[in-house]
Amino acid sequence: MTAPKRLFIRTYGCQMNVYDSDRMADVLRPLGYALADRPDDADLVVVNTCHIREHASEKVYSELGRLRDVKLERRAAGRDLTIAVAGCVAQAEGEEIVKRQPAVDIVVGPQAYHRLPELLAEAARKQAVLRAGKRLPGAGVLDTDFPADSKFDHLPGPQGVRAGSAFLSIQEGCDKFCTFCVVPYTRGSEYSRPAAAVLAEARQLVAAGAIEITLLGQNVNAYHGEARDGSTWSLARLIRELAEVEGVARIRYTTSHPRDMDDELIAAHGAVPQLMPYLHLPVQSGSDRILEAMNRRHGRDLFLSIVERLRNVRPDLALSSDFIVGFPGESDADFDDTMRLIDQVGLAAAFSFKYSRRPGTPGSAMPDQVPEAVKTARLAALQALIAEQSRAFNASKAGQTVPVLFAEPGRRPGQIIGKTPWLQSVHADGPPRLIGRIVDVRLTAAHPNSLAGEVALVDDRAEAA
Ligand code: SF4
């Protein structure tokens, strides 16, 4: 019997990359690849990159340098290591990656993961030619095309679900072209999967143990998938249909754009009980002037009116958002507008960053770049305000009994960790059999980033599901 081949995937970035990494593992499983815990144990290492990170490419190249050293040690011992680079940096840098780091065997863009088996075979052929001492014009194998047919038509269905919760990618790409963002260049234009394919995958996920499904897309609420009858389904329609799938107890979606928060979707928050009362809705800035410079295509008033309408239909809705401070031209008054907006809305959480130039984006060439020290001070002030709001939000739940979906064991023996409907982490004592199930928990104490709780009652409906 031959030993199974080992695969290690290092995933950077958003949940879409986590989903893609799982799908790559699914594609490679039939070739005999089992997951390894460390790159040093692997025969194939995939680095699934994210371009949003600051100095993203440089960090990828330094990781590839480390992998090259592992590869050289392996070769000295008569074995090999195949290195693949995937994700947005692969898409953006393409051939440059192989030029700068010749140890890389495969560069694969996000639209071509279903072709990994062919790319691996091609890489193995090239390696054999090189080992035979023959010359090749280039050793790496590249696929960064945006093919006309969708990768989703070729990827296998999901093979397993971690602890009751699953991601389901329904939309990719973006046509919005915010002036700070590389996504429209690395992920291409908006594409929505057909509704039937999404529902079929949801049923597979439920059969594999999912009770919570998070719908993913770079612009998920721009979803416009074709239905079997030729009509187009919005995200709201998809959510309503997904709620009818037996066994789906929780639905979430991310990441949304305020422009695509239409009336139907807002109404779904009040009408679909499985749709969790937590929404991540990036606003980036509270200043109309900066929102325009960012090409966000909405002002602060539209954002505030969306929040108001959402809370009218779902009063317990918690919100999180994204903020960029120090965008070119941001004055003290613009920043004050952002702080006032946060005050007005009240957030459960937020991701916040200092603006940093992304090569090729309009923002990187704008005049009036904000000095680093100013960005640092503004970010600290904004994060202090968000931390205060998060603490207050967590404290408001203390004493309540809420349903928690347990997802993993905690650090302490006997401890398990789960999520409330508002995506707060809860630590409680309980047996591992509760992982993957929704259980009533009495929240006993609130901390800045989590809550402590006591398991109160096992939800038998969730157990049956
Ligand atoms: S909406 Fe803007 S920030 Fe979001 S992916 Fe598209 S371009 Fe990037």
The Cα 160–Cα 173 span in angstroms is 26
CB-based contact 201:168 (threshold 8 Å):
yes
Computed over its alpha carbons, how large is the radius of gyration of the chain?
Answer: 23
Q: How far is the CA of 441 from the centre of ligand 1 (A)?
A: 37
Report pLDDT for 122: 87
Residue 50, classed as helix, strand or coil, is: coil
15-28 vs 116-131: helix axis angle to the nearest 10?
Answer: 70
Q: How far is the CA of 87 from the centre of ligand 1 (A)?
A: 16
Residue nearest atom 2 of ligand 1, based on CA coordinates: 178
Q: How far is the CA of 296 from the centre of ligand 1 (A)?
A: 8
Q: How far is the CA of 52 from the centre of ligand 1 (A)?
A: 11
Helix %, strand %, coil % for the chain, to 5?
40, 25, 35
Mean pLDDT calculated for residue range 164-174 = 92
Q: How far is the CA of 175 from the centre of ligand 1 (A)?
A: 8
Identify the DSSP state of 4: P
| Residue 186, both tokens | 């690395």
Give one DSSP letter per residue of 96-158, joined into a string: HHHHH-TT--EEE-TT-GGGHHHHHHHHHHHHHHHHTT---S-S-EEE----SS-GGGTSPPP
Q: Which atom belonging to ligand 1 lies closest to the Cα atom of 257?
A: 1
Q: How far is the CA of 241 from the centre of ligand 1 (A)?
A: 27
Give residue 142's pLDDT band: very low, low, confident or very high (50, 70, 90): confident
CA angle, 165 then 171 then 175, to 5°: 140
Residue nearest atom 8 of ligand 1, based on CA coordinates: 181
Q: Which residues lie closer than 8 Å to 224 by C-beta, 6 or more apart?
A: 192, 232, 233, 234
Nearest to 114 by CA among 137, 147, 83: 147
Q: How far is the CA of 183 from the centre of ligand 1 (A)?
A: 6
The Cα 248–Cα 316 span in angstroms is 21
Residue nearest atom 1 of ligand 1, based on CA coordinates: 176
Report pLDDT for 95: 85
From 15, 181, 296, 324, the mutation candidate for ligand 1 (largest count of ligand atoms within 8 A of CB) is 181
Q: Which atom belonging to ligand 1 lies closest to the Cα atom of 255?
A: 4
Q: Which atom belonging to ligand 1 lies closest to the Cα atom of 218?
A: 5
Nearest to 14 by CA among 284, 254, 191: 254
Report pLDDT for 334: 98
Q: Which atom belonging to ligand 1 lies closest to the Cα atom of 284?
A: 3
CB-based contact 282:321 (threshold 8 Å):
yes
Report pLDDT for 139: 60
Q: Which atom belonging to ligand 1 lies closest to the Cα atom of 295?
A: 2
Give residue 342's pLDDT band: very low, low, confident or very high (50, 70, 90): very high
From 15, 17, 171, 177, the mutation candidate for ligand 1 (largest count of ligand atoms within 8 A of CB) is 177
The Cα 349–Cα 346 span in angstroms is 9
Q: How far is the CA of 66 from the centre of ligand 1 (A)?
A: 32
Which range has the worst mean pLDDT, 37-46, 102-111, 314-323, 453-462? 453-462
Nearest to 175 by CA among 193, 156, 160, 190: 190
Which range has the worst mean pLDDT, 89-93, 144-148, 169-173? 144-148
The Cα 228–Cα 407 span in angstroms is 35
Q: How far is the CA of 165 from the centre of ligand 1 (A)?
A: 26
Does the pLDDT value for residue 185 go beyond 70? yes
From 51, 183, 292, 351, the mutation candidate for ligand 1 (largest count of ligand atoms within 8 A of CB) is 183
Q: How far is the CA of 126 from the centre of ligand 1 (A)?
A: 38
| Residue 281, both tokens | 């809705």
* Binding-site residues, ligand 1, Cβ < 6 A: 174, 176-178, 181, 183-184, 218-219, 257
Report pLDDT for 282: 97
Bridge partners, residue 33, by sequence = 5
Q: Which atom belonging to ligand 1 lies closest to the Cα atom of 296?
A: 2
Residue 233, classed as helix, strand or coil, is: strand
Give one DSSP letter per residue of 407-459, joined into a string: EEE-SSTTEEEEE-TT--EEEEE--GGGTTSEEEEEEEEE-SSEEEEEEEEE-
**Among residues of the chain, what percentage have pLDDT more than 90?**
67
Report pLDDT for 464: 40
Q: How far is the CA of 198 from the centre of ligand 1 (A)?
A: 23
Does the pLDDT value for residue 109 go beyond 60? yes
Q: For residue 295, how many C-alpha atoms fall within 13 Å in the half-sphere facing its CB?
A: 11
